[in-house]
Amino acid sequence: MPKENRISTKWPTFFGEFYNPEHLKMKNDLISFFTDYKKNNSGRSSGENYKLFESKYNLHENPNPAFKKLLYNFIAKGFLTMSNKANEVQLKELKKAELAVTIVDSWFIHYEEGGFVLPHAHSGCSWCCVYYVQLGEDANLTNGATYFQKPIPTRATPDFGSIYNKHSQASFKPEEGKMIIWPHYLMHGSYPYAGEKNRIVVSANAKVSLVENGKILKSF
């Protein structure tokens, strides 16, 4: 009997786009929290950032109810959905085991006119996200949007057999109440933001554990 031909993928790059149905209800409370934080705290300094305020990375330790609700009722659930989808084949083999998400870093960024973030990647986590709290002005694929650099090397002489692989960068349209999730290893940054009204985003990093019968299993 002849063997069946197969086409498969290895090392896929997963992206998630999630929309928060409660965004309009919590938007003003989130902005008030970030405004007060900015008045009373110094920001994080980084060579990656230009013309913006970035909070410390421990915002998940703050008791603010609006931020807690965003983080654990929406962002963490998005991370879990991504993890289950990306690992669905492996989880079927494990049967009784399930995944659990831990937020290890969380912060907000307050972009001013011309503000941007240089390309970088995150460590110590599985997934990263950006959540758009306030767009400011002119939301499109280049104005202040987060962009991602292709993790696959581009050949010097590509042909039409690799059209799918021709773009070196990708971005998603910013929308208020929208979250984008990506794997931690992807180099990413943000295009310069043009607008008089500040753009505000939340970012977070998550670790994912394997749990069986209430016990966290050792990492592989």
Helices (H) and strands (E) in the chain, counts: 4, 10
Q: How confident is the model at residue 155 (pLDDT cuts 50, 70, 90)?
A: low
Helix, strand, coil distribution of the chain in percent, nearest 5: 25, 35, 40
Q: Classify residue 174: in a domain, yes or no.
A: yes
Answer whether residue 22 shows pLDDT above 80.
yes
Q: What is the pLDDT of residue 16?
A: 98
Q: Classify residue 107: in a domain, yes or no.
A: yes
* Token pair for 196: 């008089």
Q: Specify the CATH number for the domain of residue 120.
A: 2.60.120.620
Q: What is the pLDDT of residue 218?
A: 60
Q: What is the pLDDT of residue 204?
A: 98
Q: How does pLDDT run across 142-152, given as a tens digit for each residue?
A: 899 999 999 88
Q: Classify residue 160: in a domain, yes or no.
A: no
Q: Classify residue 3: in a domain, yes or no.
A: no
Q: How confident is the model at residue 160 (pLDDT cuts 50, 70, 90)?
A: confident
Q: What is the pLDDT of residue 214?
A: 75
Q: Classify residue 76: in a domain, yes or no.
A: yes
Instruction: Give the mean pLDDT of the chain.
Output: 91
Q: How confident is the model at residue 14 (pLDDT cuts 50, 70, 90)?
A: very high
Q: How does pLDDT run across 109-121, given as a tens digit for each residue?
A: 999 999 999 999 9
Q: Classify residue 219: in a domain, yes or no.
A: no
CB atoms within 10 A of CB 80: 17
Domain residues for 60? Answer: 16-151+165-212
| DSSP per position, 14-39 | --EEEE-TTHHHHHHHHHHHHHHHHH
Q: Looking at the 3D structure of the chain, how many domains does it have?
A: 1
Q: Classify residue 114: in a domain, yes or no.
A: yes
How many whole angstroms separate alpha carbon 150 and alpha carbon 143?
Answer: 20
CA dihedral 104, 59, 116, 73 (to 10 degrees): 70
Q: Taking residues 146-171, report their average pLDDT.
A: 80
How many whole angstroms separate alpha carbon 30 and alpha carbon 156?
Answer: 47
Q: How confident is the model at residue 63 (pLDDT cuts 50, 70, 90)?
A: very high
Q: Classify residue 112: in a domain, yes or no.
A: yes
Give yes or no for a contact between 126 and 151, defined as CB atoms under 8 angstroms apart. no
pTM (2 decimals)?
Answer: 0.92
Query: How far lies 33's CA from each of 29, 30, 40, 82, in Å?
Result: 6, 5, 11, 28
Q: Which residues on adjacent β-strands are paired with residue 148? A: 170, 188
Cα atoms in the 13 Å half-sphere on the side-chain side of 21: 1
